[in-house]
Amino acid sequence: MAVSRTGTGPADGHRALVLHHSPAAPRAAVLLLHGGRADALEAPPALDPPALRMRPFASAVVRAAPPGVLAVGRVRYRHRGWNGPREDAVHDARQALRALLHETGTETGTEAGTGTDAEAVPVPVPVPVVLVGHSMGGRAALRLAGDPGVRGVVALAPWCPPGETVAPPRDRRVIALHDPADRVTAADDTWAYLARAADEGAHTLGIRMPRGGHSMLRDARSWHRITTSLTLGLLGLAPLPVPLTDPGGPPGVPLPARRVLDRIDAVTR
């Protein structure tokens, strides 16, 4: 994996994007959003366990993608917490998304210059992005599901409080993986969120993980494999193993992970 570098930041100097893998001419991108706390104003430590937990997801998706086509970055938060109405994670995630679109855009579009002898100048055309967020990062990713450039969201054990705002516009794709035994965030809240998103016209898919809890450490390989396959499928870089429209049941009813893994085996043979 390429050496990390940071993306352009605003006037206050904060760089919300850390690029982990950036080929010369990417065709798609993944933005990773790690977890945090409900309330915490201190900055995340350099070796933040929630951020470290996302590294295997980054490695897995880069290994599985066709060579030289996928950029991968992560969000660097100013604060460890969501912090109520401040919604700090959303602001940092949106800044990182914009930086990622800028960093990976291909100069194939053109616009007219100014003046009598103006020539068309290249304009970066953003590549499609899938947001992969865990816990608090999953909540932030869902809030950004309707932002320009976002192809879809894969939320891992997301924090979806009852009544959480449904951001995905019609036809956006939203996937969530959750272990019902998770004691930090509630899988039932996730399925309820997906049902509301489906009512608003989003294509949704819930996947019931049999192990892993909130940290996703038990049976980590299944978490990595399912996330990678669905992410590449949303980006059009691999077959999508299961359909999001009417995925074997009414909206909000999750599929068992074993069924999804069997479909991944079938499409990758």
Q: Report the DSSP pairing between strands 150-156 and 129-134.
A: parallel
Q: 20 lies in a domain?
A: yes
Tell me which residue has tokens 């450039």. Answer: 149
Contact between 69 and 28 under an 8 Å Cβ cutoff? The reply is yes
- Alpha-carbon Rg for the chain, nearest whole angstrom, is 18
Q: 112 lies in a domain?
A: no
Total count of domains within the chain: 1
pLDDT value of position 17: 96
Give the Cα separation of 203 and 172 in Å (integer): 6
Nearest to 179 by CA among 150, 153, 217: 217
Q: 119 lies in a domain?
A: no
Q: For residue 91, which amino acid is it?
A: H
Residue 254 belongs to what domain range?
5-107+125-268
Total-model pTM: 0.88
Give the Cα separation of 141 and 88 in Å (integer): 13
Q: 116 lies in a domain?
A: no
Q: 24 lies in a domain?
A: yes
Q: 228 lies in a domain?
A: yes
Query: The domain spanning residue 29 has which CATH number?
Result: 3.40.50.1820
Q: For residue 11, which amino acid is it?
A: A
Q: Report the DSSP pairing between strands 70-75 and 17-21.
A: antiparallel
Tell me which residue has tokens 């870089």. Answer: 237
Coil/strand/helix, residue 82:
coil
Q: 115 lies in a domain?
A: no
Residue 215 CB partners (closer than 8 Å, separation 6+) = 53
Render each residue's pLDDT in the chain as its tens digit; 269 residues. Answer: 443 445 545 546 789 999 999 999 999 999 999 999 999 999 998 889 999 999 999 999 999 999 999 999 999 999 999 999 999 999 999 999 999 999 997 554 455 555 555 566 566 678 999 999 999 999 999 999 999 999 999 999 999 999 898 977 777 899 999 999 999 999 999 999 999 998 888 999 999 999 999 999 999 999 999 999 999 999 999 999 998 855 444 655 799 999 999 999 998 87
Q: 91 lies in a domain?
A: yes
